[in-house]
């Protein structure tokens, strides 16, 4: 391996996951933390912990501070995890300028896949199917013209050019909804991603959301497997299944080939995910976006393929090849793995849900009822513990 020490530029469970992989590879490991994270568990997961100036998310987004922390730790590589700086091309370039390996794709690949309009254009150029839509930076008038040109009864989805996670998205079915939806999506995208630019796609009413896990070295790209993430809430994934069920092998192979073709077009290295909307019964699919980083859901692909994606990511960044890692063909999955997300939220008087923190406590069911002990979340604003009902025996 071409480097000996790794800085983890993230927090929480993903920082702990990366630390474990790095240590199993024999790498010295350092973490960073904001002032309000000094007692967080990830601080204890590495050999060294370095405080960042400031608190909250902004501390982890401070490129200069993260680079300085890497230098102080003597790290010759930085793993960004997911979120924060993981898809930031400026950060990747800053790492390169500092002589530090960025554990991820090139800055050029980040720029291409970070701009959904550019990514769609590249997919079309490489004959990877895309949903018809507008160019990036579409105005409300552009969206109205696009909707007017679609068949009667069609709808469009307005999306952020630079974004993800369901933010900056609005569904529009009628022309009189466009102005308000465009303005709201742009405000949300600006607040979340610092860029209010939008584009629109034709809405696919009945489609499955399938994402292909890929890995790339300097010579090519391989599909590692795929996940079905069709069950969503507010455009955010709730349940993921690996491998995607009820696909013919021929259809699965077409998805894998399309993902590898698109990633190879930017000479993609390390790991990432190419996402599609698919109608397997009709044999159709279309590219929607790429996530040029490790994803939260990587663990279920690991479970069914036996491939440690974090170690693979680190070793590919260090210069190892897919062949050298034994990845010469797509692994055959064994069984199924499912990931379900739990959202800790509070309900407002208006019926809206908001993210919420709280306290974790053990819940003992009443005598004579089954389930044993359960961990329940008590919202910070709640005056009494929240109990979880348990089925009687």
Domain topology for 5-103 = Rossmann fold (3.40.50)
Residue range 348-358: average pLDDT? Answer: 78
**What stretch of H or E contains 198?**
strand 198-202
Tens digits of residue pLDDT in 300-330: 999 999 999 999 999 999 999 999 999 999 9
Q: Tell me which DSSP letter residue 344 carries.
A: -
Tens digits of residue pLDDT in 188-208: 988 888 889 998 988 887 789
- Which homologous superfamily does the CATH classification assign to the domain defined by 208-340? ATP-grasp fold, B domain (3.30.470.20)
Choose among 190, 187, 211, 199: nearest CA to 289.
211
Residue range 340-366: average pLDDT? Answer: 75
Phi and psi, residue 62, nearest 5°: -85, 100
Residue range 250-257: average pLDDT? Answer: 97
Residue range 281-303: average pLDDT? Answer: 94
Query: What is the residue-averaged pLDDT of the chain?
Result: 89
Residues in contact with 334: Cβ distance below 8 Å, sequence separation at least 6, in sequence order: 304, 305, 306
% residues pLDDT > 90 (the chain): 71
Place 366 in a pLDDT band, splitting at 50, 70 and 90. low
Question: What DSSP letter does each residue of 246-273 carry, written as one string?
Answer: S--HHHHHHHHHHHHHHHHTTT--EEEE
Residue range 258-285: average pLDDT? Answer: 95
pLDDT at 390 (0 to 100):
33
For residue 138, what are its two tokens? 């579409």
Choose among 32, 49, 27: nearest CA to 84.
32
For residue 148, what are its two tokens? 């007017």
Q: Model-level pTM?
A: 0.82
Q: Which residue has the higher pLDDT, 270 or 157?
A: 270
pLDDT at 392 (0 to 100):
33
pLDDT at 373 (0 to 100):
44
The DSSP bridge pattern shows strands 28-33 and 5-8 to be parallel
- Which homologous superfamily does the CATH classification assign to the domain defined by 132-202? ATP-grasp fold, A domain (3.30.1490.20)
Whether residue 138 has pLDDT greater than 80: yes
% residues pLDDT > 70 (the chain): 90
Residues in contact with 307: Cβ distance below 8 Å, sequence separation at least 6, in sequence order: 224, 301, 327, 331
Tens digits of residue pLDDT in 238-247: 999 999 999 9
The SS3 call for residue 238 is strand
User: Where are the strands (E) in 234-381, listed by range?
Assistant: 236-242, 270-279, 284-291, 337-340, 345-347, 353-355, 358-363, 374-379
- Specify whether the CB–CB gap between 154 and 133 falls below 8 A: no
For residue 298, what are its two tokens? 């990587």
Choose among 267, 251, 166, 155: nearest CA to 205.
155
Place 354 in a pLDDT band, splitting at 50, 70 and 90. confident
Taking the alpha carbons of 106, 290, 213, 6 in that order, is the dihedral positive or negative? Answer: positive
Domain boundaries, the chain: 5-103, 132-202, 208-340, 357-393
């Amino acid at each position: 391996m071409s480097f000996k020490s790794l800085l983890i530029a993230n927090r929480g469970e993903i920082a702990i996951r990366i630390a474990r992989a790095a240590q199993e590879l024999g790498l010295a490991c350092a973490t960073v933390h904001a002032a309000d994270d000094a007692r967080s568990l990830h601080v204890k997961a590495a050999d060294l912990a370095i405080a960042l100036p400031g608190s909250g998310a902004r501390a982890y987004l401070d490129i200069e501070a993260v680079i300085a922390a890497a230098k102080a730790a003597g790290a010759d590589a930085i793993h960004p995890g997911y979120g924060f700086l993981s898809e930031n091309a400026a950060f990747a370039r800053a790492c390169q300028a500092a002589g530090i390996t960025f554990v991820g794709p090139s800055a050029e690949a980040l720029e291409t896949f970070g701009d959904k309009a550019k990514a769609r254009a590249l997919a079309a150029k490489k004959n990877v199917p895309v949903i018809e839509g507008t160019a990036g930076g579409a105005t409300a008038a552009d969206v109205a013209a696009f909707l007017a040109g679609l068949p009667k009864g069609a709808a469009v989805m307005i999306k952020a050019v630079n974004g993800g996670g369901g933010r900056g998205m609005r569904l529009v079915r009628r022309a009189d909804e466009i102005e308000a939806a465009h303005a709201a999506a742009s405000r949300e995208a600006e607040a979340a991603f610092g860029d209010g630019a939008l584009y629109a796609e034709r809405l696919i009413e009945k489609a499955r959301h399938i994402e292909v896990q890929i890995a790339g070295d300097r010579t090519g790209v391989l599909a590692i497997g795929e996940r079905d993430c069709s069950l969503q809430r507010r455009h955010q994934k709730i349940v993921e299944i690996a491998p995607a069920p009820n696909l013919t092998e021929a259809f699965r192979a077409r998805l894998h080939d399309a993902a590898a073709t698109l990633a190879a077009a930017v000479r993609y290295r390390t790991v990432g995910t190419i996402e599609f909307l698919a109608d397997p019964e009709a044999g159709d699919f279309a590219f929607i976006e790429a996530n040029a980083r490790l994803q939260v859901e990587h663990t279920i692909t690991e479970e069914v393929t036996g491939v440690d994606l974090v170690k693979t990511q680190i070793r590919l960044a260090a210069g190892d090849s897919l062949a050298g890692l034994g990845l010469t063909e797509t692994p055959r999955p064994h069984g199924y793995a499912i990931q379900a997300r739990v959202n800790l939220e509070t309900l407002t008087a208006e019926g809206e849900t908001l993210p919420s923190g709280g306290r974790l406590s053990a819940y003992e069911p009443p005598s004579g009822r089954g389930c044993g002990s359960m961990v329940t979340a008590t919202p910070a604003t709640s005056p009494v513990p929240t109990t979880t009902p348990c089925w009687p025996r």
